[in-house]
A and B are shown apart, each in its own frame.
Chain A
Amino acid sequence: MAFLEIHNLTKDFGGLRANNNISFTVEQDELVGLIGPNGAGKTTLFNCISGLHTITSGQIIFDGEDITALKAHEVAQRGLARTFQVYVAAGDLTVIENVMVGCFMKARSRSRAKAHALEILKNMAIEDLSDYLVSELPVAAQKRVTMATAIGSAPKLLLLDEVAAGLNPNEIEGIMASIRHIHEQMGITIILIEHVMELVMKISHRLIVLDYGEKIAEGDPETISKSPLVIKAYLGERYAKEHNLS
């Protein structure tokens, strides 16, 4: 039995089918990339897995347990954390307080939550930001804080939604190092949605490609980057025809 199993997942929004019959599995300690053009249904799929959306049909099994019908907070309590793509922290929480919210999922006392949060901030090398408001920070640092917050809940599986979007090449290097660190040092299985190809191709063990809500390809980065179906999805029908790809 795989660590995460998605069986025939379908999600409809009224008449719009956002995810159509998607199936895949993720093994423990894998780092899987989820790619696809805009509107392919990647974030919807994350929302379905993490329980924010109720799925129309299908089944989700995480760590041997059927989590299909669970609510978002119950899914999180079972060790499945995520970050959000557009998360502008407008609130009045500082960096360490943000991370503490994550830590409070397990910790009952404030002192324990704070100690754990500090440890994570150190581990992610952002402890010097701990007293800033999240909204005061540049985007790259904000993304790190959202990752640190998710890690605070001590997840077994972490879903990262476009943590490199809007960053410059230098910052992307930094984020990539952070992701590797989370994966290798902390031993957390990761699925990441990413548009930044140099990141996702370099870092992922395996890629899953979505287009128009369906899984069109799956395989190691090498194979995927040469797959005609994927190129067509990204670059369009005409490009593929002109280059005799299909």
Chain B
Amino acid sequence: MEAIKNALDFSDFPRVDLMVAGAVSIALVVFPIFPHSSFAMSTMIQFLMFSLYGMGWNTIGGYGGQVDLGKAQYVGIGAYTTAVMLIRWDIPFWFSMPIGVCLSVGWSFIIGYPLFRLKGHYFAIATIATSLVLKDIFEVWGFVGAARGLEISPIEFPPPDFMRLIFREDIYYFYVILVFFFIGILYINWFRKSRLGFQLRSIKDNEDVARSLGINVHWAKIKTYAIATAFVSMVGSFHACYVRSIEPEDTMSLDISIMIALMAMLGGAGSLWGPIIGAGILIPLKSYLKDWLGAQAGLVGIDLILYAIIIMLISAFEPRGVWGIVEKIRRRKRN
């Protein structure tokens, strides 16, 4: 009961935040009613998906300060679970998605246990490694289509099909992911105020102090890692139904892992709005830059250069991202 109350309680934010958040929410809900290009629509869906990835990452990476660069492996597990189950056994999305979450979380416990014996950069490198190893396995594993990947054929599964989440128009996907998005925000709003959330912030601050306050640091990290994983896996399942064609290269590559971490870091790691702001800046920038400069001017890889520049700017000037700047200004005004 109190958990629900906490999830719905945003009263510790300044009124400006809530007004902006409300306006953005309304804009998101009514957006499809207005005329828009299919490109804008797909960018919007990408934005919501990456916001959710970022929110998940933000639990362990932002509140917990554990830079995880291996989230793509869980996108993969989620996406593949849904695709394989649908194609092989005709199990619809709403059943395969929770199963995918279970598999991802199970895997996250298995690798999280040894991973969290590592700290700092070593942890980050190890997460990259596990993700890449899993991708390599999927690339040679015939059961999941190896390097060719899997395709959900619209002939075999004719749209519209809510249970299997197969639609012809993007607008349906948009509203499904939008619901996930709002639930995600409520969840994180609860999480940041929960016992685990507090323990995690204490761990980020100083692990020895956290220990001396009775916090089982290793276990708290593993639990949070599983929460982050559940978010990513859920969206991964959605991704499979949305793009309908998945292969290891585009669901589990290092790019995806870095993008996920970057969303949260650019927007503001360890804050509720951070990942959303980050995704709101990066995703449109990325798709439009790719479209204009990549396709029209032939500058391939411009988005990668952009990521690199952003990473350098964040680490040099404001490690807490855009939201860090906002908070700094606010504190200066207050004091």
Contacts and interface: CB of A to CB of B under 8 A. Distances in A.
A91 B214 contact: no
Nearest to B196: A104
Contact of A81 (B2, B6, B199, B213): B213
Interface stretch (A105-113, A169-177, A201-209): A105-113
B198 interface: yes
Contact of A73 (B198, B216, B331): B216
Contacts of A153: 213-214
A55 B19 CA distance: 55
Interface in A69-97: 71-73, 76-77, 81-82, 84, 87, 89-93, 97
Nearest to A86: B206
B208 interface: yes
B37 interface: no
A100 interface: yes
B193 A110 contact: yes
A61 interface: no
Contacts of B2: 109-111
B217 interface: yes
Given A91-B204, A93-B201, A110-B194, A105 B215 contact: yes
A224 interface: no
Nearest to A81: B212
B211 interface: yes
A149 B205 CA distance: 14
A93 B205 contact: yes
Contacts of B206: 84, 87, 89, 91
A52 interface: yes
B251 interface: no
A50 interface: yes
A34 interface: no
A104 B213 CA distance: 9
A41 interface: no
B120 to A, nearest CB: 15
A84 B195 contact: no
Contacts of A93: 201-202, 205
A221 interface: no
Given A91-B201, A110-B2, A73 B211 contact: yes
B209 A87 contact: yes
A76 B213 CA distance: 6
A72 B208 contact: yes
Contacts of B201: 91-93, 97, 101
Interface in B184-241: 193-195, 198-199, 201-202, 204-206, 208-217
Interface string A101-128: 1101101111101000000000000000
A92 B64 CA distance: 12
A150 interface: yes
Given A101-B198, A108-B195, A110-B6, A91 B212 contact: no
Interface of B: 2, 6, 193-195, 198-199, 201-202, 204-206, 208-217, 270, 320, 331, 335
Which 5 A-B residue pairs are closest in the complex by CB-CB distance? A91-B205, A76-B214, A72-B211, A105-B214, A101-B202
